[in-house]
């Protein structure tokens, strides 16, 4: 590891706990302004030579990083499980690291060649994409490694250098990820800072830092707004991937038992702690009872337990604040609707998959982003009402339509106010398709060439 001076901090390191057991699993450095400045300086110095590498050299380095991560997959998966709680198994931490490697590989193989816009007797006009400089990445606790990769790889691939700050709830896997990347890269190209957010707010300081040219932020809408405010004075580029309250709409022509598994994983992947998980389900009255029944029949067999146990498919909620929020929303929903499954908090931070029917817009579990394992189901009789209710949200991240008539489903999809709509699945992001929110869910996209462009300035040369 090419460790840097800023890894030494005078503040007492902060503790990191395993959400499955409550046990202390490690400490992370509690950094403040001096350490942040040192990290930014390190990235700024490295930018000079990194940004002058050829496109082929950048790609080669990114592929080397990808291989290094792949070689440490199991170690990273175990760290993610220990600090985040998601099981090793199922759509858990091994799946997260597999996704991170797939995204890193795909992004390494993208490129943004110069474009000739005009070449005639009036002259030549060429469009070049130039790296921005130091990119600041701020990540949440739900997919600590995958989201770090989504931020870092396009930045590196386009010639930028990076300072990343993970959530105080899940810093350890990011610290290890960056150590692994540093072994494959020149000194200073990627840097990590960690802090507890209480002693000093590193994210706020990064958003205002004069030597950071762009912030790529994934997190809540409220924090995203703060990032945008503090970024204004230094005119930073921003990509803001914020919260979602995705709706799924089930049309009358579905086969309820055929869609049950897709509906379940659309809503409960990572225990619902997923930005583009399905957080509200609108079902036509003609299939309402059958869809509820099939979904519950599938959900009740999912094993929930300690993430390190290979038998577990879902784990605990990651932290107490989120657990309390989910408990509060479920307890309010129980007063208003009918509990079909779960509903009562378990031991520690465990909360069973919970399905509550007969709710409607205006109920808090429908209106707010629960970010946990609790799905509200709403009955509708008219598709226009269902679409109006689905769109009646400040968020606009993802959505889904479930039907055996794809053309009909696409017509409904086109009327939904969100960045991605999936037909007969939900949240199935992929590295070759741009992903991002509309309305309060943020702006800018990640993935594909469109995502790569967000890490560049355009320069046009007229000759």
Which active-site residues does the annotation give? 241, 275
Choose one: 2-10, 127-135, 201-209, 341-349; the region binding ligand NAD (CB under 6 A): 201-209
User: Is residue 201 involved in binding ligand NAD (CB under 6 A)?
Assistant: yes
Nearest approach, Cβ of residue 311 and ligand NAD (Å): 27
User: Is residue 204 involved in binding ligand NAD (CB under 6 A)?
Assistant: yes
Q: What letter does residue 440 receive in the DSSP assignment?
A: T
Closest CA to 355 of 322, 380, 330, 379: 330
User: Is residue 268 involved in binding ligand NAD (CB under 6 A)?
Assistant: no
User: Is residue 223 involved in binding ligand NAD (CB under 6 A)?
Assistant: yes
CA torsion sign for 434, 439, 444, 446 is negative
Nearest approach, Cβ of residue 455 and ligand NAD (Å): 16
According to DSSP, the β-strands at 442-443 and 395-396 are unpaired
Q: Is 361 helix (H, G, I), strand (E, B) or coil?
A: coil
DSSP 16-37: EE-TTT--EEEEE----HHHHH
Q: Which is nearer to ligand NAD, 84 or 207 (CB)?
A: 207
Q: What letter does residue 51 receive in the DSSP assignment?
A: T
Q: Which is nearer to ligand NAD, 31 or 251 (CB)?
A: 31
User: Is residue 220 involved in binding ligand NAD (CB under 6 A)?
Assistant: yes
What whole-number distance in Å separates Cα of residue 157 and Cα of residue 59?
6
Q: Which of 369, 396, 401, 451 binds ligand NAD (CB under 6 A)?
A: 369
Contact predicate 124/463, CB 8 Å: yes
Q: Which of 203, 337, 372, 444 binds ligand NAD (CB under 6 A)?
A: 203
Choose one: 19-27, 203-211, 264-272, 448-456; the region binding ligand NAD (CB under 6 A): 203-211
Q: Which of 171, 243, 337, 396 binds ligand NAD (CB under 6 A)?
A: 243
Q: Which of 161, 207, 354, 400 binds ligand NAD (CB under 6 A)?
A: 207
Q: Which is nearer to ligand NAD, 41 or 241 (CB)?
A: 241
Tokens coding 434: 């741009």
The separation between CA 144 and the C-alpha centre of its own chain, rounded to angstroms, equals: 8
User: Is residue 397 involved in binding ligand NAD (CB under 6 A)?
Assistant: yes
Nearest approach, Cβ of residue 371 and ligand NAD (Å): 5
Q: Which helix (H) or strand (E) holds 357?
A: strand 354-357
Compose the 85-124 pattern: x for residues touching ligand NAD by CB under 6 A, - for all others.
----------------------------------------
DSSP 93-107: HHHHHHHHHHHHHHH
Contact predicate 243/227, CB 8 Å: no
What whole-number distance in Å separates Cα of residue 456 and Cα of residue 111?
12
- Count of residues interacting with ligand NAD (CB under 6 A): 28
What whole-number distance in Å separates Cα of residue 345 and Cα of residue 330?
9
CB atoms within 10 A of CB 54: 9
Nearest approach, Cβ of residue 317 and ligand NAD (Å): 12
What whole-number distance in Å separates Cα of residue 183 and Cα of residue 299?
43
Nearest approach, Cβ of residue 225 and ligand NAD (Å): 9
- Using alpha carbons only, what angle is made at residue 57 by residues 113 and 4, rounded to the nearest 5 degrees? 120
Q: Which is nearer to ligand NAD, 271 or 403 (CB)?
A: 271
Q: Is 115 helix (H, G, I), strand (E, B) or coil?
A: strand
In the window 127-186, what residues touch ligand NAD (CB under 6 A)? 138-142, 165, 167-168
What whole-number distance in Å separates Cα of residue 202 and Cα of residue 195?
7
Q: Which is nearer to ligand NAD, 142 or 312 (CB)?
A: 142
DSSP 205-243: HHHH-TT--EEEEES-HHHHHHHHHHHGGGT-EEEEE--
Q: Which of 154, 256, 316, 437 binds ligand NAD (CB under 6 A)?
A: 437
Compose the 273-312 pattern: x for residues touching ligand NAD by CB under 6 A, - for all others.
--x-------------------------------------
State the Cα torsion 270-142-416-387 to the nearest 10°. 60
Q: Which residue is nearest to ligand NAD (CB)?
A: 203
Nearest approach, Cβ of residue 205 and ligand NAD (Å): 8
Q: What is the binding site for ligand NAD (CB under 6 A)?
A: 138-142, 165, 167-168, 197, 201, 203-204, 207, 218-220, 223, 226-227, 241-244, 275, 369, 371, 397, 437
């Amino acid at each position: 590891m090419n460790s840097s001076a800023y890894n030494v901090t005078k503040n007492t390191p902060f503790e990191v706990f395993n959400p499955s057991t409550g046990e202390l699993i490690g400490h992370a450095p509690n950094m403040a302004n001096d350490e942040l400045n040192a990290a930014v300086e390190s990235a700024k110095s490295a930018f000079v030579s990194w940004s002058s590498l050829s496109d082929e050299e950048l790609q080669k380095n990114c592929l080397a990083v990808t291989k290094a991560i792949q070689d440490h997959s199991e170690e990273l998966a175990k760290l993610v499980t220990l600090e985040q709680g998601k099981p090793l198994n199922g759509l858990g931490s091994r799946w997260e690291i597999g996704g991170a490697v797939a995204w890193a590989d795909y992004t390494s193989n993208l490129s943004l060649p110069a474009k000739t816009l005009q070449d005639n007797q009036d002259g030549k006009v060429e469009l070049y994409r130039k790296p921005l400089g130091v990119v600041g990445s701020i990540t949440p606790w739900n997919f600590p490694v995958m989201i770090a990769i989504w931020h870092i790889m396009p930045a590196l691939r386009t010639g930028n250098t990076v300072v990343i700050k993970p959530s105080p709830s899940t810093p350890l896997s990011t610290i290890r990820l960056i150590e692994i990347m540093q072994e494959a890269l020149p000194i200073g190209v990627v840097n990590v800072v960690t802090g507890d957010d209480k002693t000093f707010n590193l994210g706020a300081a990064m958003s205002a830092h004069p030597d950071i040219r762009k912030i790529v932020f994934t997190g809540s809408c409220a924090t995203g707004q703060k990032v945008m405010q503090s970024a204004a004075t230094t005119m930073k580029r921003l990509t803001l991937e914020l919260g979602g309250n995705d709706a799924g709409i089930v049309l009358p022509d579905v086969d309820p038992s055929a869609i049950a598994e897709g509906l379940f994983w659309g809503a409960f992947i990572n225990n619902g702690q997923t930005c583009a998980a399905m957080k509200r389900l609108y079902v036509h009255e003609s299939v309402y009872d059958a869809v509820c029944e099939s979904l519950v029949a599938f959900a009740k067999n999912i094993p929930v337990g300690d993430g390190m146990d290979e038998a577990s498919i879902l784990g605990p909620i990651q932290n107490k604040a989120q657990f309390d929020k989910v408990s509060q929303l479920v307890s309010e929903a129980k007063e208003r609707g009918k509990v079909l499954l779960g509903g009562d908090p378990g031991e520690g931070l465990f909360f069973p998959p919970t399905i509550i029917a007969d709710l409607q817009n205006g109920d808090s579990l429908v209106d707010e982003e629960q970010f946990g394992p609790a799905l509200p189901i709403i009955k509708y009789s008219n598709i226009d009402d269902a679409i109006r209710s689905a769109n009646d949200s400040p968020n606009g991240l993802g959505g889904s339509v479930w039907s055996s008539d794809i053309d009909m489903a696409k017509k409904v999809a086109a009327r939904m106010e969100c960045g991605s709509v999936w037909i007969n699945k939900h949240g199935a992001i992929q590295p070759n398709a741009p992903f991002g929110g509309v309305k309060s869910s943020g702006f800018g996209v990640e993935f594909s060439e469109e995502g790569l462009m967000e890490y560049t300035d355009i320069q046009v040369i007229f000759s």
